[in-house]
Chains A and B, each alone.
Chain A
């Protein structure tokens, strides 16, 4: 048996939009050889109970992710910028719709 033969089909990450109006959400991964097969497998694996109206399949190797080792530099600076939140501001009650 050749080494090629023993290799897995490529891994795809699957994102499902459960209902019109919602975002696509990551639900897991599966193996497929091509995009069409990935969609069919995703449909059979993740939408048997009417849990989806739209499927995105992305090759896992195509996903670029932030590195947890850099999480501090990436995400910590947002923490103390509280002035980005509406609750930071005191608006008198008499002023409406602000």
Chain B
């Protein structure tokens, strides 16, 4: 549906653009400025479409890859309730990936193209999922910190200018808050538990704190996409603003747990009414983004294997449907 519409729109579009490209652009910007939603078949600048495809698909890939570090602990969860909750959470993440691929597809790109980009290493996804989850406490830390950071990013996106993306984000945000709570609850039990559990929790916080801050991306002066994304209301707050908000919200939560944030420079600044925090090691971030993080290879390998191992299954389903199309249509009618 959407691809067909876009094709026809494309043809008219080029003719229009030649005649009044500037008029279209300014009308588009006026709509965005007026907080109108842009829908799949509306005219949009090519760069807007490209930016959205990139951003939405990266988000989708992150959800899918993100199933792995926590999925890792499903079979070993220490109680049946925790196991149940974890399966539900990872299932949700898969669901989020599906909503996002669905939103990306409205822009004229197919799921298989996007999956190919990911598996061939041509697509980016959130660096955070390239870190290992060696202990159960890491599952708690991910829920608390990583989902917490994701929520900060995602709530503003519910008001993003592109309709399908905004609507997917509303759905995702509704589901995400349980994710953060289950993570924090895990940390709470650990922090109040045995010495061994407390040590496990502190070690996890030590491992996940800085990567979580890096999730917000580099400072906006360094980010080439930021300004235009803000103008198009794809991005509503700067990376630094969101990162600061995250720190301000999360440090008291760590204090409540009785755990220490691994930042010797961290202190409350009365004059700014914010927490001051230490410098981020962007070299590490760059390395992980370039594919040299601890788990980049494993994560992609796991996804490739799942995709390849599942090839015969997907083909079988298509073949069966083709054979029975007439019968299926009759039954569904």
CB <8 Å contact, A45 and B98: yes
Tell whether A18 is near chain B: CB-to-CB under 8 Å.
no
Contact of A8 among B98, B103, B112 (CB under 8 A): B112
CB distance from B233 to the nearest CB of A (A): 19
CB distance from B117 to the nearest CB of A (A): 13
CB <8 Å contact, B168 and A35: no
B residues contacting A by CB (< 8 A) are 1-2, 4-5, 8-9, 12, 39, 41-43, 91-92, 95, 98-99, 102-103, 105-106, 110-112, 116, 164, 167-168, 171, 175, 311, 314-315, 317-318, 320-321, 324-325, 328-329, 331-332
CB <8 Å contact, A7 and B1: no
CB distance from A46 to the nearest CB of B (A): 8
Can you spell out 7 A-B residue pairs with CB atoms less than 8 angstroms apart? Answer: A30-B102, A35-B332, A48-B95, A60-B1, A65-B5, A68-B42, A69-B43
Distance A1 CA – B39 CA, assembled complex (angstroms) = 36
CB contacts (< 8 Å) of B4 on chain A: these are 61
CB <8 Å contact, B328 and A34: yes
CB distance from A68 to the nearest CB of B (A): 5
Tell whether A6 is near chain B: CB-to-CB under 8 Å.
yes
A5, A34, A63, A67: most-surrounded residue (chain B CB, <10 A): A34
A30-B98, A33-B318 as given contacts; A67 in contact with B8, CB under 8 Å? yes
CB-nearest residue of chain A relative to B92?
A48
CB-nearest residue of chain A relative to B167?
A28
A5-B315, A28-B168 as given contacts; A35 in contact with B328, CB under 8 Å? yes
CB <8 Å contact, A69 and B324: no
Q: Could you mark each residue 23-43 of chain A with 1 if its beta carbon is under 8 Å from any beta carbon of chain B, else 0?
A: 000011111011111000000
Q: Which 3 A-B pairs have the closest CB atoms?
A: A33-B321, A60-B1, A33-B317
CB contacts (< 8 Å) of B95 on chain A: these are 45, 48
CB distance from B172 to the nearest CB of A (A): 11
Distance A77 CA – B275 CA, assembled complex (angstroms) = 56
Q: How many residues of A contact B (CB 8 A)?
A: 29
CB <8 Å contact, A11 and B314: no
Q: Could you mark each residue 64-97 of chain A with 1 if its beta carbon is under 8 Å from any beta carbon of chain B, else 0?
A: 0101110000000000000000000000000000
CB contacts (< 8 Å) of A69 on chain B: these are 9, 12, 43
Distance A50 CA – B119 CA, assembled complex (angstroms) = 34
Distance A44 CA – B179 CA, assembled complex (angstroms) = 18
A48-B95, A69-B9 as given contacts; A33 in contact with B320, CB under 8 Å? yes
CB <8 Å contact, A68 and B9: yes
Distance A31 CA – B315 CA, assembled complex (angstroms) = 13
B8, B164, B321: most-surrounded residue (chain A CB, <10 A): B321
CB-nearest residue of chain B relative to A35?
B332
CB <8 Å contact, A9 and B324: no
CB-nearest residue of chain A relative to B322?
A33
CB <8 Å contact, A37 and B99: no
CB contacts (< 8 Å) of A29 on chain B: these are 102, 105-106
CB <8 Å contact, A63 and B111: no
CB-nearest residue of chain A relative to B114?
A8
CB contacts (< 8 Å) of B5 on chain A: these are 65, 67
Distance A29 CA – B171 CA, assembled complex (angstroms) = 13
CB distance from A69 to the nearest CB of B (A): 6
CB distance from A32 to the nearest CB of B (A): 8
A1-B311, A8-B110 as given contacts; A68 in contact with B41, CB under 8 Å? yes
Contact of A65 among B1, B116, B318 (CB under 8 A): B1
Distance A72 CA – B112 CA, assembled complex (angstroms) = 36
